[in-house]
Amino acid sequence: MAKDVTKEFEQGMQTLGDIQALGDFSLSPLIERASFHFSEIHRKAEYSFENLESYSKVQEFLEKTIDNLLTSYTLRDEITHQVLLQKKFKDMSLEKWDRLLDIIPSSLQVMRIFKFVGTQNIQISNEGICVRGLIKTDESIIKYRELIYKASRKLLDKKTILTYQIEELEDPRICWLTIHVDMDHDESLSYNVDFSEKLGMKLGFTNLFSKYKVTPEQAAQLPRHLIIEISEDLEISKYYRVPDQYTRETNKKEMLHFSFLFHPVSIIIPKVGLVERRPTSTNFKDTGSGLGQQEVKNQIGSNFRYIDFFSLINQS
């Protein structure tokens, strides 16, 4: 039934676009208001179909499945003495449960590589998985580089990203390691950068961009890594250190940093973006990682191009 509602919604939005194309310009405000109300009806209908709080047996079964996978993981780990598990499953949609079950095998595969010492904290929510614990600094994981690459690419294919953070301690033999598996990407949202003034269009990225902003001061502390800069003309440049002009134009540009294992990536965009509802699939097309493809007109009233960040990073 949810698919039927989505289909009817998209057809309704298409009809509004046709009316605008045939009608007078003065109709635009009314059409935009109708479009907003259509979107709200669609959002609420999706929520009512997908929220599992009313289906306690289904949710209980899904939680048990997650628990069994994690129990299997902890029993195979001979070094960790204790695992503290936090579960935040309130308002989890069926789509989120499906994605969580899909990404857990690859996530646990990476977690097994690190020999956590002592208590290991695992938090699972509708945003993804967060693992934190102590590891020995004298253990090399270079030999697992290929396995981590494969797992990271599998997660990227599922619109999920794996990043990490190291915190040094006074004792140089150990350090804190935090692993984030972020599945908070939302197909109905996008992080939009407005190029209307120069190019007559908006450029959209995954809504995850809003969570990975760094300041010029933080950027200056980053080690050598791949930096992809997108210019106002949508041209791409690649660097391996933060360009000097970025620190001089802090009011204009924005930098996102993704601390992928073995392959950190930063992206510099020429303007500050904003998370907004993404146009429906009948009104635009993905450009994937091909920034040179022609613009696609959003029939509701503006030009919009969506860049598939996950494909772009997977190919870099």
Q: Tell me, what DSSP letter sits at residue 286? A: B
- Contacts of residue 130, Cβ cutoff 8 Å, sequence gap at least 6: 121, 122, 123, 178, 179, 180, 181
CA separation for the pair 147, 154 (Å, rounded): 11
pLDDT tens column, 32-69: 555 555 555 555 555 554 556 656 677 787 888 888 88
Per-residue pLDDT averaged across 178-198, rounded?
91
pLDDT mean over 168-195: 93
pLDDT above 50 (res 290): no
- Coil vs helix vs strand at 192: strand
Exposure string of 112-151, with b = 16+ CB inside 10 Å and e = fewer, is ebbebbeebebbbbbbbbbbbbbbeeeeeeeebeeebeeb
Higher local confidence (pLDDT), 229 or 252: 229
pLDDT at 176: 94
Residue 287, classed as helix, strand or coil, is coil
pLDDT score at 296: 36
State mean pLDDT over 128-148: 87
Given a cut of 50, is residue 198 above it in pLDDT? yes
Phi/psi at 148 (nearest 5 deg)?
Answer: -65, -40
Percent of the chain with pLDDT over 70: 71
Q: Where are the beta strands (DSSP E) in the chain?
A: 80-88, 116-125, 128-136, 161-168, 174-182, 189-194, 202-205, 213-214, 226-230, 236-239, 254-258, 265-269, 274-277, 297-298, 302-306
Please give the average per-residue pLDDT across 166-186, as a whole number.
93
Predicted pLDDT of residue 255: 92
Question: pLDDT-derived band of residue 171, with 50, 70 and 90 as boundaries?
Answer: very high
> pLDDT at position 225, please?
92
pLDDT averaged over the chain?
Answer: 77
The CA R_g of the chain, rounded to the nearest whole Å, is: 22
pLDDT at position 303 is 83
Is there a contact between 42 and 9 (Cβ–Cβ < 8 Å)?
A: yes
What is the number of alpha carbons within 13 Å of residue 223 lying toward its C-beta? Answer: 5
Question: Which candidate, 186, 163, 170, 176, places its Cα nearest to that of 264?
Answer: 163
Query: In percent, how much of the chain has pLDDT > 90?
Result: 27
Q: Find the angle CA(129)-CA(135)-CA(138) to the nearest 5 degrees.
A: 140
Model confidence band, residue 284 (pLDDT cutoffs 50, 70, 90): very low
By mean pLDDT, which of 226-230, 236-240, 242-246, 247-251 is the weakest? 247-251
Is the pLDDT reported for residue 25 higher than 80?
no
